[in-house]
Structure 1
Amino acid sequence: MQIYKVGGAVRDRLLGKPVTDIDWVVVGATTEEMLAKGYRPVGSDFPVFLHPKSGEEYALARTERKSGRGYGGFTFHASPEVTLEEDLIRRDLTINAMAEDDQQNLTDPYHGQRDLEARLLRHVSPAFAEDPLRVLRVARFAARYAGLGFTVAPETLELMRQLSDSGELEALTAERSWKEISRALMEDQPQVFIEVLRACDALKVLMPEVDALFGVPQPEAHHPEIDTGVHTLSVLEQAALHKQPLTVRWACLLHDLGKGLTPKEDWPRHIAHEHTGLKLIKAVNERFKAPKDCQELALLVGQYHTHGHRALELKPSTLLELLQSFDVYRRPQRFEEFIAACEMDARGRKGLEQRSYPQADYLRGAAIAARGVAVQPLLEKGFKGPELGEAIKRERLKALKAYKEAASA
Structure 2
Amino acid sequence: MQIYKVGGAVRDRLLGRPVTDIDWVVVGASIEDMQARGFRPVGGDFPVFLHPQTGEEYALARTERKSGRGYGGFTFYASPDVSLEEDLLRRDLTINAMAEDDQGRIIDPYGGQADLQARLLRHVSPAFAEDPLRVLRVARFAARYAPLGFRVAEETLQLMRRIADSGELQALTAERSWKEISRALMEPRPDVFIQVLRDCGALAHLLPELDALFGVPQPEAHHPEVDTGVHCLMVLRQCALREQPLTVRWACLLHDLGKGLTPPEQWPRHIAHEQRGVRLIQAVNQRCKAPRDCAELAVLVGEFHTHAHRALELRPATLLELLQRFDAYRRPQRFEEFIAACEMDARGRHGLEQRDYPQAAYLRGAADAARTVAVQPLLERGLKGAELGEALARERLAALKAYKAERA
Within 1, Cα distance between the matches of 2:226 and 2:95?
38
Q: For residue 179 of structure 2, what is the aligned residue in structure 1?
A: 179
State whether structure 2 residue 278 is matched by structure 1 residue 282: no
Which residue is 1:384 aligned to? 384
TM-score of the superposed pair, with normalisation by structure 2: 1.00
User: 143-152 vs 376-385, which deviates more?
Assistant: 376-385
Deviation at 1:82, TM superposition (A): 0.1
- Superposed CA deviations along residues 340-361 of structure 1, whole A, max 9, x for unmatched, are 0000000000000000000000
TM-aligned CA deviation for residue 44 of structure 1 = 1.8
**In structure 2, how many angstroms separate the alpha carbons of the residues matched to 1:105 and 1:289?**
43
Aligned to 1:127: 127
Q: Which amino acid aligns with 1:261?
A: L
- SS of residue in 1 equivalent to 2:271: coil
Could you give the per-residue CA deviations for residues 304-354 of structure 1, whole angstroms, max 9, x where no partner exists? Answer: 000000000000000000000000111000000000000000000000000
Q: Which residue in the other structure is 2:57 paired with?
A: 57
Tell me which residue corresponds to 2:25.
25
In structure 1, the residue matched to 2:137 is: 137
Deviation at 1:103, TM superposition (A): 1.0
Runs of 5+ unmatched residues, structure 1: none
Q: How far apart are the structure 2 equivalents of 1:344 and 1:199?
A: 24
Quote the Cα distance in structure 2 between the aligned partners of 1:382 and 1:284: 46
2:41 aligns with 41
Equivalent-residue separation in structure 1 for 2:309 and 2:147 (angstroms): 31
User: Are residues 1:343 and 2:343 paired?
Assistant: yes
Aligned pairs, number: 408
The residue type paired with residue 382 of structure 1 is G
Q: Residue in 2 aligned with 1:312?
A: 312
1:207-227 deviations in Å (ceiling 9; x for gaps): 000000000000011000000
- 1:384, CA displacement in angstroms? 1.2
Shift of 1:385: 1.2
Matches of residues 179-258 of structure 1 in structure 2 within 5 Å?
179-258=179-258
Name the structure 2 match of 1:365: 365
Residue type matched to 2:350 in 1? K
Q: Which residue of 1 aligns with 2:168?
A: 168
Deviation at 1:43, TM superposition (A): 2.6
- d(CA) in 2 for partners of 1:385, 1:85: 71
> What is the CA RMSD across the aligned residues, in angstroms?
0.4
CA distance in structure 2 between the partners assigned to 1:92 and 1:107 by the alignment: 16
Provide the secondary structure at the position in 1 that maps to 2:407. Answer: helix
Query: Percent identity among equivalent residues?
Result: 80
Measure how far apart 1:368 and its partner are.
0.4
SS of equivalent to 1:64: strand
1:287 maps to amino acid: R
Distance in 1 of aligned mates of 2:384 and 2:9: 62
For residue 160 of structure 1, report the CA deviation from its aligned partner.
Answer: 0.1
Q: C-alpha distance in 1, partners of 2:133/2:384?
A: 56
Distance 1:62 1:168 in 2: 24
Whole-angstrom CA distance in 1 between matches of 2:124 and 2:95: 9
Structure 1 residue aligned with 2:295: 295
Aligned-residue offset at 1:17: 0.3
Structure 1 segments (4+ residues) deviating >4 Å = none
The whole-number CA distance in structure 1 between the counterparts of 2:11 and 2:407 is: 54
Q: Secondary structure at the match of 1:4?
A: strand
Counterpart amino acid of residue 111 in structure 1: G
Query: 1:375 & 1:334 partners in 2: Cα distance?
Result: 22
Structure 1 residue identity aligned to 2:361: D
- TM-score computed with the length of structure 1 as normaliser: 0.99
Residues 387-402 of structure 1: pairs in structure 2 closer than 5 A: 387-402=387-402
Q: Distance in 1 between matches of 2:44 and 2:153?
A: 35
The C-alpha deviation readout for 1:45-70, integer Å capped at 9, x for no partner, is 10000000110000000000000000
Other structure's SS at 1:231 match: helix
**Distance in 2 separating the partners of 1:199 and 1:269:** 27
Report the equivalent of 2:272. Answer: 272
SS at match of 1:226: coil
| Aligned amino acid, residue 297 of structure 1 | L
Q: Secondary structure of the equivalent of 1:277?
A: helix
**1:11-45 superposed Cα distances (whole Å, 9 cap, x missing partner):** 00000000000000000000001001010000321
Within the alignment, does 1:79 sit opposite 2:79 as a pair? yes
State the one-letter code of the partner of 1:160: M
| Matched residue SS, 1:269 | coil
Deviation string 1:229-286 (CA, Å, 9 cap, x unpaired) is 0000000000000000000000000000000000000000000000000111011101
Q: Which amino acid aligns with 1:157?
A: L
Instruction: Please name the residue that 2:326 is paired with.
Output: 326
Whichever residue aligns with residue 31 of structure 1, its letter is: I
